[in-house]
Structure 1
Amino acid sequence: KFKQQVGEEEEDGNLWIGYCAFHLGDYKRALEEYEALTKQPTCNPDVWVNLACTYFFLGMYTQAEQAALKAPKSGLQNRLLFHLAHKFSDEKKLMSSHQNLQDVTEDQLSLASIHYMRSHYQEAIDIYKRILLDNREYLALNVYVALCYYKLDYYDVSQEVLAVYLQQVPDSTIALNLKACNHFRLFNGKAAEAELKNLTDSASSSFEFGKELIKHNLVVFRGGEGALQVLPPLVDVIPEARLNLVIYYLQQDDVQEAYNLIKDLEPTAPQEYILKGVVNAALGQEMGSRDHLKIAQQFFQLVGESASECDTIPGRQCMSSCFFLLRQFPNVLIYLNSIKSYFYNNDTFNFNYAQAKAAMGNFSEAEEVFLLIQSEKIKSDFVYLSWLARCYIMNKKPQLAWKLYLKMETSADSFNLLQLIANDCYKMRQFYYSAKAFDVLERLDSNPEYWEGKRGACVGVFQMILAGREAKETLREVLHLLKSTGNSQVEYIVRVMKKWAKENRVPV
C-alpha cells in the first residue's frame, strides 16, 4: 500500500493486499481488491478462486459458486465447492466434490470440517487425530478435537485436549471461549463467566466475530439476561443465537414468539429437532391443537430412535416425551427411570416423573416426587396442584388436598380443583371433605348435581360415624352444611340425624 501511495507499482501488489486483508478477516476490503483485479484484461485466472473464498466468508454463497466455477480446477476450488454443496444441502454435488478429495492435509481438514457440521463428530476426531500423529506442530487441531468432544458431551475430555493448545497460546479467543463453555457444562454460569472475563477486555478489532460470540455466550451463562438486546442481531450470524432466543421466549412463556422464530427452521442437528418438538408441544398444549402435539411427538421420536442419540440422555428424554404425548406411561417410566440419577434436583424432570408415576397409580411415590419440587412457578401451576391433590386423596390425606384449595384465590382453576376434591374424596369414601367441597360448589353454581353430591357425602359421613370410623363431633358440621341448602329433602335427612344424635347423647 505504501509503494502504491508513493507511485511505485509493485507487480501483484493488489493481489498481496487482497491476500493480507482476507487473512486479517477484513473480507470487504479483500472483496474490493479481488473484484477490481477480475475486471483487468490481464487478470490471473487464480484470482477467481480467491474472490470466491471471499464471497463465501461474507455469506454470499451464490456469488461464491459462480466465481469458483470461473476458476481453473484446483484443490482449493474443489474444497470450496465441497463446502458450498453443504451450504446448499446439495447431496449430489457434495458427493461429487467428496470423490475429488485427495489424501493431502488441506483436503482431509476440509472433510473433517464437513463431518463436524453434519454432526459426525467421531469421524472428524479420527481425521484430526490421524493428522496430529504426523504433524504434532499443528497445535490448533487440538482445539478442533476439543470442539468435537464438547459436542459429544465429553466436557472433561474436551478440557484436557484444549489445555495442550492453551499452554502454547494462552490468549486464544476461540480456545478460551470453548474452555468457558466446558466450565458452563461442568459447573455453572458463574464459573464460565469468570473464564470469559479476560477475553471481554482483550478481544481486538480483528476478532469482531470473537466479540459477538462472547456477547452471545455471556447471555447464555447469565441465564438469558440481556437476551433481547444481544441475540436478535446475531440470529443469522451465530447459528445457536436463534435457538437460544427461542429458549429465552419459552422461559418467558411467550410460546407464540418462540414458534414464529423456529417454524421456518429446517432442523438438521438433534438440538434443533428437540427444540422444534418442545415448541410444538408447548403451543399444542396452549392452543389445544392436536396437530402441533402430533408434530412434537414425531420430532421427539425421530431423535430418540436415531442411532446417534438413542443412548444419550437427551435421546432418552425425547423418547419419554414422545410416550408422554402418546399417554403410554409405562414406557415413559422406563426411559425416565434410566436417567433419573442425573436429574435428582431438577424440578422439570421431577414434575414429569411424578405425573407419570401418578398416571400409573403409584400415588405414594408420586407424592414424594411432587414434594421435591422447589420452583414456585411449577407449584402454582394447576396441573401440579390437581395432581398433588389427587395424590393426597389417594394416599388418605384429604385434609392436605383441602389446604391446597384454601390457599388458592377464587378462579376457574380453584373451581376445577374443588370438583376434583369433591369427586375423588367421594370415590375414596372420604365423605367429610367431599361434603365440604360439594357445599362450596353448590353455593357457586346451582347445578342440582352438586346438591346430590353433597347429600350423598353427608349421608356417607353419617354412615362412617355409625360405623365408628369418623368422630361423632363431625355430625354438628354435617348438619350445618345440610341446613345451608334450601332443598325439601334436607328436613327429612336432618330429622333422622338429630334423632340418632339424641338417642346417643351426641351434642349437635
Structure 2
Amino acid sequence: MNTIDCSHAILSRAKPALGSVSEKKKKNQTKISRLEEYLQQRDYLGALTLLEFQRSTGEIEEHGDLWLGYCSFHLGDYKKAMEVYKSLTAQPGCPAEVWVYLACVLFFLGLYKEAEDAASKAPMSPLQNRLLFHLAHKFNDEKKLMGFHQNLEDVIEDQLSLASIHYMRSHYQEAIDIYKRLLLQDRDFLALKVYVALCYYKLDYYDVSQEVLAAYLQKVPDSTIALNLKACNHFRLYNGKAAEAELKNLIDISSCSFEFAKELIRHNLVVFRGGEGALQVLPPLIDVIPEARLNLVIYYLRQDDVQEAYNLIQDLVPTTPQEYILKGVVNAALGQDIGSRENLKSAQQFFQLVGGSASECDTIPGRQCMASCFFLLRQFDDVLIYLNSVKGYFLNDDTFNFNYAQAKAALGNYKQAEEIFLVIQSEKIKNDYVYLSWLARCYIMNQKGQLAWELYLKMGTSSDSFSLLQLIANDCYKMGQFYYAAKAFDALEKLDPSSNYWEGKRGACVGIFQLILANKEPKETLKEVVPLLRNSGNPQVEYIIRILRKWAKDNRVLLS
C-alpha cells in the first residue's frame, strides 16, 4: 500500500510518428506491436524478455532502455531498474524526467535521501510531487507533507497517493472513503477492492475484509497480494494452519515472478507457523518489510529474550499504533525484569498514547492499551472497566485471562480471580511465579490453605519457592489458617535458622491450639503441632509443649 503510481508517467504508449516505412522499420513495428501487446496484458516478464532479446541482437527500438527500466520496476527488480536509469542519466541528452523514474526506484529500495536528491534534479510534475509527498512522510516532515498535499489534484493518481498516506498514518477510514469514491466513478478499478479489504483488515474487521476481497478474487483468482491478504484474514479469524492452507498456491515461491511477493510469503509463513524459522527469515527482511522487525521483536519476547527485543526496537521511532504498542510491551517487560521505573514509565506513556488517541480509543487494541496503562499505574478499578469492555473477544485467551484475574485479585475479588486463574491452560504462565503467587493468595483468601500449600510442594527449591513460602506463611496467618501458616514458618525456619521465623511459627501453633479450644479445628491436629515445635531450638519450646501435653492429657488426646 505504500506505493507510488509511476506507470502512467514513464512513457506514452503511443508509437512515435514515423516517416516512410522501410522493410526494416516494418519489422521493428511488428516488434513494437508485440511489446505493446505484452504491456497491455501487463506481462512484464514477457516484455522484458523481448527487450533483452532485441538488445542482444542489436535491434532494440527507440526508448528501449526506458522500457527495460519500466518492466524491471513493475517486476519488483528495483536494483536492475536502478542500474538502467542510472546508466541513462549518465548519457548526454538524457530526458530530464528520467531522474524522477530513478527517484521512484530508489524510494522502493529504501534509499530515501538518494531518492530525494534524484527527484530534485527532475522537472516539476505530478509524479515528482507524489514522490516528494511520500518522502516527506518517510522523513516525518509535516510542513513539507502539507505543502505537497496542497499540490495534489482531484485525479486518480494523486487521490491514490493520498489514500496510501492515510493508510500509512493509520487513517484507515479516510483511505476507505477515497477508494470507495473512486470505485463509484469506475467499477473497473477492481484492484481498489484489495486496498479497501486491506484497510478493513487493519481495522480488525476481518470478515468484512474477506467479503470485499472475494469480489476481486472472483475476477483475479491468482493474485499474489489478494491471496496473501486472504491468508492473513484466515490467520486472524481461525489459526495458522488455516492461513497456510490458503497460501498453498503460493507456497512454491519459485513460481512467483515478484521478488517482493517471495519475501512477503516467506515472512508470513514464519508468522503462520508461530515463529518457526524466524531467525533465518526475518533479519534480512527488516529493511524490506516493515512488519519483519516487529515480528522479530515478538519472536524474541516469546523466547523470553527481552533484552534482544529491546535492542531491536529501542531506536525505532513509532509511527503506527502497532509500533507504539510493541514498544510499550517491550519496555514493560524489560522494566519488570530489571526493576526499571524509567522503562515502566515509558511503557505506560506508549500505552496511553494509543489508548487515548481518537482513532484507537474505541478499538480493541486501544482499550487493551488503556487497561495496560492503568495496570502499570496500579489503578485496577480502571483496568477492569476496559478489560470488561473487551472480554467477550478473549474468552479463551490465556494472556488476557492472566491479566484479568490479577486485576480481580488486586481489588479483593478472590473468588472470581481464582476461577479465572484456573481456566488458564498455558504451562508457561502456570509455571510463572506471578501466577503461582496470585493463585496461592486466592486459595488462602478463599479458605483453601491446603491448595496453596500443595502449590509450594510441587515447586523445586529456588528463590521463588522461598518467596511463595513467605506469602503462604503470612497470608495464612492473617486469615486464621494457622495450621498451614505453622507448616510454612517451620519450612522457612529450616531454610534460615538465624531469622525470626520462630516467632511466626510460635504464634501459628498457639493459633491452632486456640482453634482447637473453640472446636474449630480437630483435636488430633495437636499431634502435628508438637513435632513442628520440636524442630526449633528456642528455649520457649519446652514450656509451650508442657502446656499442650497437660491439656491433651486432660482431654484424652494422645500425643507422640
Matching residue's letter, 1:365: Q
1:146 matched to 2:162? The reply is: no
Specify whether residues 207 and 499 from structure 1 end up closer, same or farther in structure 2 by C-alpha distance, changes over 3 A only: same
1:80-229 equivalence runs, <5 A: 80-201=131-252, 204=255, 206-229=257-280
Listed as ranges, the gaps of 5+ residues in structure 2 are: 1-50
From 410, 415, 418, the equivalent of 1:364 is 415
1:294 matched to 2:345? The reply is: yes
CA distance, structure 1, for counterparts of residue 429 and residue 232 of structure 2: 28
CA distance, structure 1, for counterparts of residue 199 and residue 254 of structure 2: 24
Q: 3-state SS of the aligned residue for 2:423?
A: coil
Matching residue's letter, 2:344: L
1:30-429 equivalence runs, <5 A: 30-201=81-252, 204=255, 206-429=257-480
CA distance, structure 2, for counterparts of residue 280 and residue 327 of structure 1: 17
Q: String of CA shifts for 1:327-382, please: whole Å, max 9, x gaps.
A: 11111111111111111111111111111111111111111111111111111111
Contact 1:200 1:211 in 2 (8 A): no
Q: 3-state SS of the aligned residue for 1:147?
A: helix
Matching residue's letter, 1:485: S
Q: String of CA shifts for 1:80-109, please: whole Å, max 9, x gaps.
A: 111111122211111111111111111111
From 437, 442, 453, the equivalent of 2:488 is 437
The equivalent of 1:480 in structure 2 is 531
Matching residue's letter, 1:40: Q
Contact 1:52 1:67 in 2 (8 A): yes
CA distance, structure 2, for counterparts of residue 422 and residue 28 of structure 1: 68
> What's the CA shift for 1:497?
1.2
> What's the CA shift for 1:467?
1.1
Q: Which moved more, 1:124-133 or 1:13-22?
A: 13-22
Q: String of CA shifts for 1:408-432, please: whole Å, max 9, x gaps.
A: 1122111111111111111111111
CA distance, structure 2, for counterparts of residue 379 and residue 29 of structure 1: 53
1 or 2 for the larger relative contact order (CA 8 Å, sep ≥6)? 2
Q: String of CA shifts for 1:212-252, please: whole Å, max 9, x gaps.
A: 10110011111111111111111111000000000000000
CA distance, structure 1, for counterparts of residue 419 and residue 531 of structure 2: 36
> What's the CA shift for 1:7?
4.2
Specify whether residues 52 and 487 from structure 1 end up closer, same or farther in structure 2 by C-alpha distance, changes over 3 A only: closer
CA distance, structure 2, for counterparts of residue 208 and residue 3 of structure 1: 24
CA distance, structure 2, for counterparts of residue 10 and residue 450 of structure 1: 94
Percentage of pairs with the same residue: 79
Listed as ranges, the gaps of 5+ residues in structure 1 are: none
CA distance, structure 1, for counterparts of residue 154 and residue 86 of structure 2: 32
Matching residue's letter, 1:132: L
Matching residue's letter, 2:532: L
Contact 1:203 1:210 in 2 (8 A): no
CA distance, structure 2, for counterparts of residue 57 and residue 39 of structure 1: 21
Matching residue's letter, 1:276: K
Q: 3-state SS of the aligned residue for 2:250?
A: helix
Specify whether residues 467 and 23 from structure 1 end up closer, same or farther in structure 2 by C-alpha distance, changes over 3 A only: closer
> What's the CA shift for 1:5?
4.1
Matching residue's letter, 2:351: F
Q: How many residues align?
A: 508
Matching residue's letter, 1:102: E
> What's the CA shift for 1:203?
5.6
Matching residue's letter, 2:214: A
Contact 1:332 1:356 in 2 (8 A): yes
Contact 2:89 2:98 in 1 (8 A): yes
Q: String of CA shifts for 1:172-205, please: whole Å, max 9, x gaps.
A: 1000000000111111111100000111126645
Q: 3-state SS of the aligned residue for 2:523?
A: coil
Q: State TM-score, norm by structure 2.
A: 0.88
Matching residue's letter, 1:390: R
Contact 2:75 2:259 in 1 (8 A): no
Specify whether residues 205 and 155 from structure 1 end up closer, same or farther in structure 2 by C-alpha distance, changes over 3 A only: closer
> What's the CA shift for 1:36?
2.5
CA distance, structure 2, for counterparts of residue 202 and residue 435 of structure 1: 65
> What's the CA shift for 1:156?
0.9
CA distance, structure 1, for counterparts of residue 70 and residue 546 of structure 2: 103
Specify whether residues 500 and 135 from structure 1 end up closer, same or farther in structure 2 by C-alpha distance, changes over 3 A only: same
1:12 matched to 2:60? The reply is: no
Contact 1:243 1:275 in 2 (8 A): yes
> What's the CA shift for 1:388?
1.0
CA distance, structure 1, for counterparts of residue 103 and residue 358 of structure 2: 37
Specify whether residues 7 and 305 from structure 1 end up closer, same or farther in structure 2 by C-alpha distance, changes over 3 A only: closer
Contact 1:139 1:165 in 2 (8 A): yes
CA distance, structure 2, for counterparts of residue 349 and residue 485 of structure 1: 45
The equivalent of 2:515 in structure 1 is 464
Matching residue's letter, 2:427: E
> What's the CA shift for 1:9?
6.2
Specify whether residues 166 and 496 from structure 1 end up closer, same or farther in structure 2 by C-alpha distance, changes over 3 A only: same
> What's the CA shift for 1:164?
1.2
> What's the CA shift for 1:39?
2.5
CA distance, structure 2, for counterparts of residue 3 and residue 431 of structure 1: 93
Contact 1:113 1:124 in 2 (8 A): yes
